[in-house]
Amino acid sequence: MAKTPAQRIKKHGANAAVPQHQLPPVINPTTDRTPQKAQSNSNLIVIAGVVASLFLFWYLHLLTLNQLTQLSNGLAMPDSMLGGFDQGFVGQLHAAMDDAARGQLSYVHKTAGTLFPLIFGFTWLLLIGTNVARKSLRWALWALPLLFAAVRLWGNTVIDAVLSAGTADAGLVALASGLTVAGWILLALSLVAGGVAVFLGRKGAAGSPAPGHVQP
C-alpha cells in the first residue's frame, strides 16, 4: 500500500521524497466577453425591443383600437384621445357599445395594452442604462418610462371600470381621462429621454480614446 506523505516524512525524515501534487490545469482560463462584446449584446436587445415596441404601438393604436370604432358608431376609444374625455363622452360611448364590444376592448387592454407599455418600458430602461453613465441622470431618465408603464396599466384598468359601470362616476371618469393624458405625455417624454441617452452614449464613445492609444 502506498504511504502517505506524512508517513514518508516520519520514516525517512527530511530526505523523504514527497510527491508533488499539482492542481489540474484550468480549462479556458481566459474569457472572450469583452466590454465591447457586452455592449454589442445590449445593443442587439435594445434594437429588438424597439422593433417590438413599434409593432405593438402600431397594432394597438393604429389597428386594433381604430377597428373597435366600428363597434362604437365611429366614436374613438378612450385610449386614443390625447386630450382626454369627459363624462358626456363616456356616456355616449357606453350607450354605443354593447357588452361584447366592451369585452373586446377589455381583452385588448389585457393583451396588447399590457405588452406594449411593459416591453417599451423595459427597452427604454436598457437603452438609458447602457448609454448614460452618470447615476443621478440615469435614474432621472429611468423615471419616465417607469411612470409611463405604470400609468398606462393603471389607465387600462380604470377605463374598463368606467365603461362597465351603468352610470359613469364623475370622479372615475376624471381619473381615467387624467391617466390617459398623462400616459401620452410620459410616452413623448420617454422618447425624448431615449434620444438624450443615445446622444450622450455617442458623445461618450467619441470622446473615449481608441484601444492602444496613449493620451499625452
Domain ranges of the chain: 39-203
Residue 213 is predicted with a pLDDT of: 45
Looking at residue 40, its pLDDT comes to: 75
Q: Which pLDDT belongs to residue 5?
A: 56
pLDDT at 88: 93
Count CB-CB contacts under 10 A for residue 97: 20
| 115 contacts 64 by C-beta, under 8 angstroms | no
Q: What pLDDT score does 212 carry? A: 44
- Return the pLDDT at 165: 83
Q: Which residues of the chain have pLDDT under 70?
A: 1-39, 206-216
Neighbours of 79 (CB within 10 A): 22
105 contacts: CB under 8 Å, gap ≥ 6 = 68, 77, 97, 159, 160, 163
Span 43-68, pLDDT tens digits: 899 999 999 999 999 999 999 999 99
- Taking the C-alpha atoms of residue 178 and residue 187, their distance in angstroms, rounded to an integer, is 14
